[in-house]
């Protein structure tokens, strides 16, 4: 009876995950979809706690431990998720993903120790190959995901810099080959009395995760996080095999396959292939574009006053937000600027590049937080159509997404990525903190073009000054 | 070879493999044609869903012998980490989507 009820809980869980994901992919139903999946998760979790019976029909024990851990995780998780700033969302997702990977890793370690205990008690026992494969691979993938997510997290919050390791690809290949060999040896049970081999896989997998993410440019982190996300899904699915558990299997595989597709979709939005992101990382090509930097001439600066005047007498202004806006937390001031300009009869729109910021949709979320009306946010194609009739384009801390090299310079690492064609407008004002290149680490020739004027300073301060200048006019 | 054959003769394993294959197709089907604005919340939501790995952690914890402190500690950690993944994942996703729904009302 209890078991039948548990299976029903798992079925409900699986169905809510599928429905949740489906609803999450439509703007109108997305929020409800998230809640539906969460409800299914709660049913599956409590079903397991109270109804699960092992092979000898024993219920689970250690309830105090389980509930203590659940409480700690819930409190810490909720606080972390509630407190995190909008700008730090991507790294938070990466961090939570890493936790899931670590969880899969720990499960496999405990299960492995149990197998070792049985062998110690009965040396003639040979564990099933299938079970060993599932334990070892679950641990391996979970560890890679954990280590990789931690590096991605560190990169996004600036603790870890991009670094290319000479011969890195070769090293990764050797580690990968070593991992496969070890997996075959351990799961084949060739040396059943050598736990060192199992923990060797653990160490190598962690190293692999680190080296895999390390050379990938910070601008590509969203793609990497999405990929690691699907890895953790697969690790969870191995847990499903281990416990013959349908909800872990559906949940894990669903995320594994949906995550892979999402990764590919993200790459497409940047017009790059996954291979290009993983192997041809920006860092590796840094040597190339420095040669082109020589040709650049001078840039011209523009004062706050002149910028304000230029915009006040414009008919149409398009604002292009980038990561600089997010860092400066300038979304509210930005909305204020928009309102002041509208009062003066200027039409203000926003041009949103799909990968502006650190994650797809980052800018939409940020501007929505500041109550910028939805209709004002133009997608890249629409914004480009409007550029021709625009007087002033104001670029706020965006760089690579407006770099003309993506269209003009085949040797550029971002060549082929669709950009916002700001040069079709009459004037371009670029607000940046300095002349330092953007996240991709490449020079932006736009800053030296005749139409472009530079307005240096922190986005928030610059916008505040612009607003007060405009109000005085 | 024997283990390969058992994949299809053993009813339980066969059932699991069926689930895996159907789930792969479902995942692909469910996600295709999602607007790029939703990429981040969708990734975050999927992130929360793979937190289902916590069920494995609960089983490990609940089956651990009460005198096996290593297993208890590892299991305890696993449940905490899994809960962080689930709770944090769903809450962050909800916060992101809250922004979207706010602007819809306007």
Which residues touch A335 (CB under 8 Å, ≥6 apart)? A367, A370, A371, A372
Q: Which of A27, A74, A97 sits opposite B87 (nearest CB)?
A: A74
Nearest CA in chain B to A146: B81
Listed residue (A237, A227, A235) closest to A259, CA to CA: A227
Domain that holds residue B60: 36-106
A182 shares its domain with A275: yes
* pLDDT above 90: residue A441: no
B66 shares its domain with B97: yes
**Tens of pLDDT along B43-86?**
999 999 999 999 999 999 999 988 999 999 999 999 999 999 99
Average pLDDT estimate for A359-377: 81
Residue A294 lies in a domain: no
Mutation for A interface: B17, B88, B94, B102, most A CBs within 10 A: B88
- Supply the angle between the helices A30-51 and B54-63 in degrees, to the nearest 10: 10
pLDDT of residue A247: 95
Distance from CA of B8 to the nearest CA of A (A): 13
pLDDT of residue A283: 43
Tokens representing A399 are 């760089």
Average pLDDT estimate for A43-57: 89
Average pLDDT estimate for A246-262: 94
pLDDT of residue B106: 40
Residue A291 lies in a domain: no
**Gyration radius of chain A's alpha carbons:** 26
**φ and ψ of A334, to 5 deg:** -60, -45
A78 shares its domain with A130: no
* pLDDT above 80: residue B99: no
Q: How many domains does chain B have?
A: 2
Task: Report pTM.
Answer: 0.80
* pLDDT above 70: residue A434: yes
**Tens of pLDDT along A286-334?**
434 444 444 456 788 888 888 999 999 999 999 999 888 887 888 899 9
B62 shares its domain with B26: no
B14 shares its domain with B58: no
Residue A61 lies in a domain: yes
DSSP sequence for A55-101? TTSPBP--HHHHHHHHHHHHHHHHHHHHHS-GGGHHHHHHHHHHHHH
B4 shares its domain with B51: no
Asked whether the beta carbons of A469 and A308 are under 8 A apart, the reply is: yes
A219 shares its domain with A306: no
A10 shares its domain with A138: no
Q: Report how far residue A297's alpha carbon sits from residue A6's, in angstroms, rounded to the nearest whole number.
A: 70
Average pLDDT estimate for A421-425: 89
Distance from CA of B93 to the nearest CA of A (A): 7
pLDDT of residue B30: 87
Q: Do B53 and A239 touch (CB under 8 A)?
A: yes
A248 shares its domain with A384: no
Of A109-118, A275-284, B39-48, the poorest mean pLDDT is in A275-284
DSSP sequence for B20-58? HHHHHHHHHHHHSS--GGGHHHHHHHHHHHGGGGHHHHH
Q: How many domains does chain A have?
A: 3
Residue A180 confidence class, pLDDT cut points 50, 70, 90: very high
Domain that holds residue A253: 88-283
A73 shares its domain with A123: no
Mean pLDDT, chain B, whole residue set: 86
pLDDT of residue A417: 78
Q: Report how far residue A107's alpha carbon sits from residue B54's, in angstroms, rounded to the nearest whole number.
A: 9
Distance from CA of B6 to the nearest CA of A (A): 10
CA torsion through residues A376, A382, A387, A388, sign: negative
pLDDT of residue B102: 54
Q: Which of residues 62-81 of B touch A (CB under 8 A)?
A: 62-64, 66, 70-72, 74-81
pLDDT of residue A439: 62
Average pLDDT estimate for A216-224: 79
A268 shares its domain with A170: yes
Burial class from Cβ neighbours inside 10 Å (0-12, 13-18, 19+) for residue A360 reads buried
**Tens of pLDDT along A185-196?**
998 888 878 889
Nearest CA in chain A to B19: A250
């Amino acid at each position: 009876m209890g078991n039948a009820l548990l299976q029903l809980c798992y079925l409900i869980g699986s169905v809510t995950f599928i429905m949740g994901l489906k609803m999450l992919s439509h703007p109108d139903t997305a929020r409800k979809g998230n809640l539906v999946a969460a409800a299914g998760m709660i049913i599956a979790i409590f079903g397991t706690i109270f109804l699960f019976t092992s092979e000898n029909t024993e219920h689970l024990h250690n309830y105090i431990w389980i509930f203590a851990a659940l409480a700690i995780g819930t409190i810490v998780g909720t606080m972390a998720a509630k407190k995190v700033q909008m700008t730090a969302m991507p790294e938070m997702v990466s961090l939570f993903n890493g936790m899931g990977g670590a969880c899969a890793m720990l499960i496999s370690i405990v299960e492995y120790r149990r197998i070792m205990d049985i062998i110690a008690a009965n040396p003639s026992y040979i564990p099933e190959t299938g079970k060993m494969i599932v334990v070892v691979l679950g641990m391996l993938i979970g560890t890679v995901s954990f280590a990789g997510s931690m590096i991605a997290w560190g990169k996004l919050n600036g603790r870890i810099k991009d670094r290319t390791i000479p011969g890195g690809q070769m090293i990764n290949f050797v580690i990968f080959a070593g991992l496969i060999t070890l997996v075959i040896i351990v799961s084949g049970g060739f040396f059943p009395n050598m736990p060192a081999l199992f923990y060797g896989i653990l160490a190598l997998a962690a190293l692999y995760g680190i080296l895999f993410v390390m050379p990938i440019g910070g601008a590509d982190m969203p793609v990497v996080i999405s990929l690691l996300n699907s890895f953790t899904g697969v690790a969870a699915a191995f847990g499903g095999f281990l416990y013959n558990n349908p909800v872990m299997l559906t949940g894990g595989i669903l995320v594994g396959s949906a995550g892979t597709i999402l990764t590919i979709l993200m790459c497409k939005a940047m017009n790059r292939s996954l291979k290009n992101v993983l192997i041809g990382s920006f860092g590796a090509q840094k040597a190339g574009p420095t040669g082109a930097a020589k040709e650049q001439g001078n840039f011209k600066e523009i004062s706050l006053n002149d910028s304000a005047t230029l915009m006040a007498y414009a008919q149409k202004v398009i604002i292009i937000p980038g990561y600089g806006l997010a860092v400066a937390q300038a979304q509210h001031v930005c909305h204020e600027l928009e309102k002041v300009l509208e009062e003066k009869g200027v039409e203000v729109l926003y041009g949103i590049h799909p990968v502006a910021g650190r994650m797809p949709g980052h800018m939409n979320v940020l501007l929505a937080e500041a109550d910028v009306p939805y209709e004002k946010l133009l997608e890249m194609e629409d914004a480009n159509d409007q550029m021709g009739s625009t007087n002033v384009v104001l670029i706020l801390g965006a760089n690579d997404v407006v770099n003309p090299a993506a269209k003009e310079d085949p040797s550029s690492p971002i060549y082929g990525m669709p950009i916002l064609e700001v040069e079709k407008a009459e004037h371009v004002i670029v607000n940046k903190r300095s002349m330092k290149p953007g996240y991709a680490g490449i020079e932006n020739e736009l800053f030296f073009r005749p139409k472009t004027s530079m307005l240096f300073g922190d986005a928030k301060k610059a916008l505040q000054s612009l607003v007060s200048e405009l109000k005085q006019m | 070879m024997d283990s390969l054959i058992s994949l299809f003769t053993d009813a339980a394993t066969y059932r699991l493999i069926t689930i895996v294959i159907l789930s792969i197709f479902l995942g692909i089907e469910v996600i295709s044609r999602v607007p790029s604005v939703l990429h981040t919340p969708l990734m975050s939501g999927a992130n929360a869903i793979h937190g289902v790995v916590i069920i494995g952690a609960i089983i490990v914890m609940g089956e651990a012998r009460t005198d096996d402190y290593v297993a208890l500690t590892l299991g305890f950690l696993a449940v905490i980490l899994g809960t962080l993944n689930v709770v944090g994942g769903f809450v962050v996703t909800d916060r992101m989507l809250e922004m979207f729904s706010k602007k819809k009302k306007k």
